[in-house]
Amino acid sequence: MVITRFAPSPTGRLHVGNLRTAIHNWMLARQQNGRFLLRIDDTDAERSREEYVDSIREDLEWLGMTPDAEARQSDRFDMYEARFEALRAAERIYPAYETPQELDLKRKVLLGRGLPPVYDRAALALTDEARAKLKADGHRPHWRFRLDHSAAIEWDDMVRGPQRFDPEKISDPVIRRADGSWLYLLPSVIDDIDLGITHVVRGEDHVTNTAVQVQMFAAMGATPPRFAHEALLTGAEGKLSKRLGSLGIAHFREAGVEPVTLIALLARLGTSDPVEPVTSPEPLIETLDFSRFGRAPARFDEEDLTALNARIVHQLPYAAVADRLPATIGEAGWEAIRPNLARVADAADWWRIVEGPVDAPDPGEDADYLQQAADIAAGIDWSDDPWHALTTPLKESTGRKGKALFLPLRRALTGMDRGPDMAALLPLIGRDRAIERLSV
């Protein structure tokens, strides 16, 4: 069974950058009839907040992406400790005592010589006596995972294709701080093994992490999941601005963006498939194909999101929005005003045209024409097609056509120069209100 996971840190709210990977993990699980898990990466006790955990759950639920199960790293420290001790016994983990300042100096020296800033493994050369003295002097080690230099690190990435890394050109990663707290790399691998994760979709900024983690899986006798590293998002200005990178899902909810709009845009950004105004994620799930993901950065533009949202709103059936509309808007009303909406929340503003009152402009030289229209409106059959029953005799009696025929009527009936189709709107305005608005 395909099992994917979304693993946010609850140090802030979901934003477009991490939401995109959540969407793709969720879509893959649904496409393969698998399971989508939420893993709360809350090992950073100082920065993690329960309010962010709650907001992550709420955002996923609003999007219709409720996970099949949830795990929290803060509940799993005993498991990490056991794996840590096993790896230390196998000499795949070792203590290192350099201070951040010493490490920074080493990096600068290597870079100054034109060499890659790879950790020199000086800690491995320490004797037992040297370690004992450091301990006696009050120095607490941080811990590194010892990479195996005997063979290249390889995997077949679902987006990037075959990947190959030379482990000698990668520093042995720090996996645990001197205070005993965990960094991301090792706990994530332990969780993926324990939870049976089969596929991991994440940003390409994790590629080097993956190279390291592939060896961690092997060191614990496990097969790595399949990886898909997708290109990162950029903003309209070419770089993912701090503002865009921090835009929470609440921002889009408050702006009236439909959940399916966010999914429809983010699911296809960076792929060779077109962004389409779908009213359900199902077509996106069915066509998900990581071989169609490109390597170039994917551009996110709020204006594109707004335009897509309008196209989707224009297709939403009444049943999907009824609970968000004023009580007096029925299915016919929704279908009449829907083509003019950018968001569902705007429906109430357009509905005021129907229920009134409207602030019509002074009719000026069209006053007699509008009074004639009022007289005709009083005698037509309102049960079928009152708009054409009104405009056809007006055209014949006045010789008007086009804009001269229709615009004065629209202005008097709605107070606006443009808007919903009058053939659909006039029956909703009704006989009495129409006659009152046309009469001068």
Distance CA 35, CA 90 (A): 33
* Residue 120 CB neighbours (<10 A): 14
Q: Over 96-155, what HEC string results?
A: ECCCHHHHHHHHHHHHHCCCCCCCCCHHHHCCHHHHHHHHHCCCCCEEEECCCCCCCEEE
CB 408 within 8 A of CB 369: yes
The one-letter amino acid at 241? S
Question: Cα(207)–Cα(5) distance, rounded to whole angstroms?
Answer: 17
CA 215 to chain centroid, in Å, comes to 31
Helix orientation angle between 347-355 and 422-429, rounded to the nearest 10 degrees: 60
Note whether 40 and 8 are within 8 A (CB): yes
Q: Facing residues of 360 across strands?
A: none
Query: Residues at the annotated binding site for ATP?
Result: 242
Binding residues are: 242
